[in-house]
Structure 1
Amino acid sequence: MDKTLSDGLPLPQRYGAIITIVIGLSMAVLDGAIANVALPTIASDLNASPAASIWVVNAYQIAIVISLLSLSFLGDMFGYRRVYKAGLVVFTLTSLVCALSHSLEMLTLARVAQGLGGAALMSVNTALIRLIYPQRHLGRGMGVNSFVVAVSSAAGPTIAAAILSVASWQWLFLINVPLGIISLILAMRFLPANNARSQASRFDLPSAVMNALTFGLLITALSSFAQGQSLRLVLAEVVVMLVVGFFFVRRQLRLPVPLLPVDLLRIPLFSLSICTSICSFCAQMLAMVSLPFFLQSVMGRSEVETGLLLTPWPLATMVMAPLAGYLIEKVHAGFLGALGMLVMACGLFALALLPSSPADWDIVWRMVLCGAGFGLFQSPNNHTIILSAPRNRSGGASGMLGTARLLGQSTGAALVALLFNLAGEHGTHVSLLLAGTLAVVAAIVSGLRVTQPRVDA
């Protein structure tokens, strides 16, 4: 069994397994952003205020963040395939409930449950890729994974607009039902089992509760701040988060197999890669949230034109991420990551310096630079995060990878709201300059990894 796992799956089964991962992961990531576009319509249909309807988005994100590490720990304990299949069942059923919801309260509760299903899919997907691909070709698997996440994150609004142009908002959730059933059938047939699990693992319920409170309060505080809620409320959330977080980390340091993988964060290569991941996704979100305001409000472009002008970013990522997955077999991940982030930084600074009335091509080539740099960075970075962890801690590494992405995205979205409040009509310009600066920081941190021994599959 162990030999089979170390060698990956044979080719026909490998293709079926990776298709399962692609469908499940793309659904989970897309549903984080796909409802944004339909919020005004959802609020109107369910007789809810615009402010209250924000919880349709927040409930999903918070549910994922608070449960991601716990579910990845359960993956290490009971097997990644079991957690993934359970996630598919929960996600598919709750998507149906979302579509059938007749009140905001029902939809919000369904989104919380859907977020738990999505977290199960996100928490173990990269751990499964480590089992699906032969060690020598793991970079290619990470390339597929990176392009699915990056494209799904960036293309969410475009896909939502396309669905809404021909159907009602309920279809944003109904479309997951057939896809979820197909993915579950494939999962039962193709996904590999992992029976060689750590016998020392024991699920620590107090740690799970403190983890949920720490990350839940962090995301809630960022969201409250972004929405301009009472500063006293935001400060209270931050203070409670810091107190609970202190005791949470202290407890983790005493556990032999911690829920928050502080043991993995002691590995320099792992911690540097997590830092670069947070910075890169924060930079991406700063750009992707602020650019539509500039394109529509300042340049007067329509929603469809805006979607088309943003599309070169995910397209360039789609091309570059698999290519980077091949390059990782020959080039140090630290160098590839630094190069990718520098290319992305050039694209972001170029977007910040756009002329007042740019032609479409002026925007497109800058978006291509950003997407290509992002794709070149993500595959080697994810590859390093997974391989720098021991095999029996793959679930913990996978959970941290997902947590880093969500923290970066949530922070980026909150920063856009802050910068628009502070800079007014120049909000997009300032957001892009900050995004470019974060990309440079990520490039420097990634470059530091070159001094570490290369992680060879």
Structure 2
Amino acid sequence: MSGHTVLPARKQRLVLVIIAFAVFMASLDSTIVNISLPSIAKSFDADISMISWVSLSYILALAGFLLILGRLADLKGFRKVFIAGFVMFTIGSLACGLSATLNQLIAFRAMQGIGGAALDALAPAMIVLYLPEETRGRVLGVLATVVSIGIAAGPILGGFITEYSSWHWIFFINVPIGIVAIIGAFRLLPGDPEIQKSAGFDYAGSVLIIAALSSLIYTLNRGLELGWTSPVIIGTLLLTLVCGTLFFVHERRTNGPLIDMHLLASKNFALGNAAGMILMLVDCGTLFLMPFYLENAKNLPVDSAGLLLAVPALTLMVFGVIAGMLSDRYGPRILTTGAALLAAGALFLFSGFDVDTGVPCIIATLALFGVALGLFFPPNMSQILGTSCGAGSEGVASSMMMTIRNVGAAFGVALFGTIAVFVIISTMTVRATMDISPTILATGFRAAFLWGAVLCLACAIISATIIIRADTSKTA
């Protein structure tokens, strides 16, 4: 797609509001559901392994379709794909709220994730397309603030809704917001510029990447319950290897690939994304398990648990701004390495939590974890995009980075859930339901958090090597 649509100042502000609606809905939904997972599990009599698919189906759809919908927007027009994403997200939200079975909820969460992928993939690009260059930095700062507000509001709002109404309303709340945003998008977003001829859409690559990601996450999530040597698990693992190999072979040969394989040859790009993926894995795995610890091990009310889970989001919002300024002064390497070590410390403290851990200690550790995340992600993004990709490849690099991070998020939910369930089953030798004693539940959660601390240390080691290899990465 080519061209830049110049809009009057008033319409620029209205378009920004529409885009802000999109990123707010996507960020709110990323945190509002987790706080309600214990209540949803009780509603459907599901264990941790099964209920994790309420999160996993959304994250997998998001990760699998980010590149696909970004590419589709180039071919069919940003406005069309963006509005279609809003419609799918809103209908998916309504369907989630109306779900009568867990399988229905999981399926409709995937539908939500596809819509969310359109919003996540296209919102930054639409800033470039519709708003003037001289305001771009300030506008992206506004969007970052909106995202932080959505992330912070999610557990608070979800906690109060679940405590005083029912979990169904955490999905219904998206419907009126979505309807207003869809109407506004139809009326305010200008038509797409002329679309350039291209090599076409990579259908084969799209199918292969979704198949590879889905089968891998299924293998990690269900391997413990079905048995690692069961025919189903062996089959899905083989499917992962075959589809993953075919995807990378196909991407090297096709004329219109979903990913730029040359970027992966950059050591900085690969290492920076590896570090970012690991910390996103730990982040999402921690936030998946923490509601179960607070509500089922600590026996806190859902609304109180929601308030506690807003703490890391708030400290992330504050320290994310500080990290940007410190990164310019001291460089990203020091910050990312130090932040990963700080995150390792927070996870180590989480691994010591039990049923008697005081709320002030929990708040302080959650705040420390949020500080670590806030100090890590902005300079990590600078490492990935600032030193590893040349002019003209920033858009592709950005979409690949977001896809890799969302894959990490899916891994985190699957891995932390699997570790917790394994320890619980090993201790109790019964199925991991929410009827198990709080003490045994806490034991499983502590084991997952301890492994998270180990992963954070690995992230710190990777981050410490990136700038050292900066010169060679550019010529790789």
Give the drift of 1:142.
5.9
What does residue 419 of structure 2 align with? Answer: 419
Give the drift of 1:307.
2.8
SS of the equivalent of 1:259 reads coil
Distance 1:385 1:21, change over 3 A: farther
Distance 1:299 1:39, change over 3 A: closer
C-alpha contact (below 8 Å) 2:60/2:407 kept by paired residues = no
The worse-fitting range, judged by mean Cα deviation, of 444-453 and 14-23 is 14-23
How far apart in 2 are the matches of 1:21 and 1:171? 24
Give the drift of 1:50.
3.0
Give the drift of 1:366.
1.9
How far apart in 1 are the matches of 2:38 and 2:113? 21
* 1:32-47 pair list within 5 angstroms: 32=30, 34-35=32-33, 38=36
The runs of 5 or more residues in structure 2 that have no matched partner are 425-439
C-alpha contact (below 8 Å) 2:344/2:453 kept by paired residues = yes
Distance 1:131 1:427, change over 3 A: farther
AA partner of residue 63 (structure 1): A
What does residue 428 of structure 1 align with? Answer: 445
* 1:50-129 pair list within 5 angstroms: 50=46, 56-101=54-99, 107-129=105-127
AA partner of residue 413 (structure 1): V
* 1:125-144 pair list within 5 angstroms: 125-129=123-127
What does residue 348 of structure 1 align with? Answer: 347
Q: Percent identity?
A: 30
Give the drift of 1:121.
1.3
* 1:251-262 pair list within 5 angstroms: 251-262=250-261
The runs of 5 or more residues in structure 1 that have no matched partner are none
* 1:230-249 pair list within 5 angstroms: 230-231=227-228, 232=230, 233-249=232-248
Matched, 1:439 2:437: no
AA partner of residue 222 (structure 1): L
**TM-score normalized with structure 2 length:** 0.79
How far apart in 1 are the matches of 2:152 and 2:234? 31
How far apart in 2 are the matches of 1:357 and 1:30? 31
Give the drift of 1:106.
5.4
C-alpha contact (below 8 Å) 1:76/1:394 kept by paired residues = no
Give the drift of 1:230.
3.8
Residue by residue over 1:3-61, the C-alpha shift from the partner in whole angstroms, topping out at 9 and shown as x without a partner, is 969xx99986665555434432332344355445556766888xx66367765544433
* 1:137-152 pair list within 5 angstroms: 152=150
Residue by residue over 1:322-377, the C-alpha shift from the partner in whole angstroms, topping out at 9 and shown as x without a partner, is 33345555553333323332332232233334587443322222221110110122
SS of the equivalent of 2:226 reads coil
Distance 1:347 1:19, change over 3 A: farther
* 1:286-301 pair list within 5 angstroms: 286-301=285-300
Residue by residue over 1:154-194, the C-alpha shift from the partner in whole angstroms, topping out at 9 and shown as x without a partner, is 76444322222343443222221221233335545776888
C-alpha contact (below 8 Å) 1:146/1:378 kept by paired residues = no
Distance 1:130 1:376, change over 3 A: farther
**TM-score normalized with structure 1 length:** 0.81
Give the drift of 1:314.
0.9
Give the drift of 1:317.
0.8
What does residue 379 of structure 2 align with? Answer: 380
Residue by residue over 1:77-123, the C-alpha shift from the partner in whole angstroms, topping out at 9 and shown as x without a partner, is 34444432321122123323444455666555443332221121122
What does residue 434 of structure 2 align with? Answer: none
AA partner of residue 408 (structure 1): G
What does residue 337 of structure 2 align with? Answer: 338
Correspondent of 1:224 among 214, 222, 225: 222
AA partner of residue 124 (structure 1): L
AA partner of residue 411 (structure 2): T
C-alpha contact (below 8 Å) 1:77/1:201 kept by paired residues = no
* 1:304-323 pair list within 5 angstroms: 304-323=303-322
What does residue 171 of structure 2 align with? Answer: 173
CA-based RMSD of the aligned residues comes to: 3.9
How far apart in 2 are the matches of 1:434 and 1:103? 33
C-alpha contact (below 8 Å) 1:223/1:414 kept by paired residues = yes
C-alpha contact (below 8 Å) 1:92/1:176 kept by paired residues = yes
Residue by residue over 1:123-167, the C-alpha shift from the partner in whole angstroms, topping out at 9 and shown as x without a partner, is 233434555787788676666656665665676444322222343
C-alpha contact (below 8 Å) 1:39/1:50 kept by paired residues = no
How far apart in 2 are the matches of 1:20 and 1:102? 32
Give the drift of 1:241.
0.9
Distance 1:11 1:223, change over 3 A: farther
Matched, 1:281 2:298: no
What does residue 408 of structure 1 align with? Answer: 408
How far apart in 2 are the matches of 1:178 and 1:319? 30
C-alpha contact (below 8 Å) 2:64/2:403 kept by paired residues = no
Distance 1:124 1:445, change over 3 A: farther
How far apart in 2 are the matches of 1:191 and 1:329? 35
What does residue 428 of structure 2 align with? Answer: none
The worse-fitting range, judged by mean Cα deviation, of 160-169 and 187-196 is 187-196
Distance 1:187 1:238, change over 3 A: same
How far apart in 2 are the matches of 1:42 and 1:298? 16
Aligned length: 450
What does residue 213 of structure 1 align with? Answer: 211
C-alpha contact (below 8 Å) 2:315/2:374 kept by paired residues = yes
Distance 1:205 1:296, change over 3 A: closer
AA partner of residue 444 (structure 1): I
Give the drift of 1:437.
2.4
Residue by residue over 1:407-449, the C-alpha shift from the partner in whole angstroms, topping out at 9 and shown as x without a partner, is 2222222222232234334323232222222223223322333
The worse-fitting range, judged by mean Cα deviation, of 333-342 and 348-357 is 348-357
Residue by residue over 1:264-311, the C-alpha shift from the partner in whole angstroms, topping out at 9 and shown as x without a partner, is 222333222211221111111232233344444554444333333332
C-alpha contact (below 8 Å) 1:269/1:384 kept by paired residues = yes
How far apart in 2 are the matches of 1:346 and 1:178? 41
How far apart in 2 are the matches of 1:437 and 1:150? 27
How far apart in 1 are the matches of 2:358 and 2:106? 41
How far apart in 1 are the matches of 2:213 and 2:144? 23
Distance 1:97 1:18, change over 3 A: same
Matched, 1:24 2:41: no
